[in-house]
Amino acid sequence: MREAKLSADLPEHLACLYDYNLSKFETPVDDRGIADIDSMFELAIWTFPETLPSFESTERNKHHVYWTESWWVKFAKSHTQEESQTIYTFRNSTPQIAYVPVPLHAWIEEVMIPPPPPSLEVMRRRNSAWAAAMVLLRSAHRLDKARDEYDEKKYKTRRVLGYIAGITPRSQYSLETYRDVLDTEYWLSELNERLYGWRKIGNIQAEVPPEHRIVPVTRLSDVRALRQRIRNGAIIPKLPEVLLTA
């Protein structure tokens, strides 16, 4: 098994995570005790002993940042049924799963110590925050779809029968009678309905303290950015600044 080494150029916020007794790094966590996917990825990149894999490659898989599965199964079974459900939901939710290149996935599990579980209360809040984020993601997707449909179809006509069965007198229509109609009002009403729904959801989200949200500020741009980071039910970690500026 390869061993993690503490190099002199490792940034201080990562170097302080090194455990000399185990020759491994602690998995970075935030002030709530939740594993920090971006910092974990940064640490893996800084310490990787080989040529880094291509970050454009589709050869990625999912890393549960709370591993191993067998440990978590035992941990969940040591709690009540309701608490176990909270634990399973927390561990297996998208924000706790990283979508990383295969070599880095293996490296993370080799050189990092699995993070300890946060408190049940933190797990509950995290689960609630992700449930709220999923509502935002769905609402933003529907709003974007309605906007695209309105822009695409507001000036397009469609051919319909030029009579209404049961209303137009039979003497005034035939099967060959058609007319062109615009559906502008319909698509605009769809867009307005989605916009109203988005604002309503945003107002509800605003009542939750920012520190308990997945999306701190309810802006379409922020929700779209989150959507761009989700692949196969996992989060694509951000590339460290050192790579972005290289």
What pLDDT is attached to residue 46?
Answer: 93
Which tokens sit at 168?
């137009």
Give just the sign of the alpha carbon dihedral 35, 37, 43, 48: positive
What pLDDT is attached to residue 136?
Answer: 94
Contacts of 85 (CB under 8 A, 6+ apart): none
What pLDDT is attached to residue 183?
Answer: 79
Measured distance CA(110)–CA(10) in Å, rounded: 18
What pLDDT is attached to residue 161?
Answer: 58
What pLDDT is attached to residue 205?
Answer: 83
Measured distance CA(219)–CA(212) in Å, rounded: 16
Identity of the residue numbered 51: T
Q: What is the pLDDT along the chain (246 residues), one digit of tens a residue?
A: 677 778 888 999 999 999 999 999 999 999 999 999 999 999 999 999 999 988 887 789 999 999 999 999 999 999 999 999 999 999 999 999 999 999 999 999 999 999 999 999 999 999 999 999 999 999 999 999 999 999 998 888 766 656 556 666 666 655 556 667 677 888 888 899 999 999 999 888 888 888 788 998 889 999 999 999 999 999 999 998 766 555
What pLDDT is attached to residue 6?
Answer: 82
Contacts of 214 (CB under 8 A, 6+ apart): 95, 129, 130, 132, 133, 226
Angle between the 120-153 and 184-205 helix axes, to the nearest 10 degrees?
160
Measured distance CA(189)–CA(137) in Å, rounded: 21
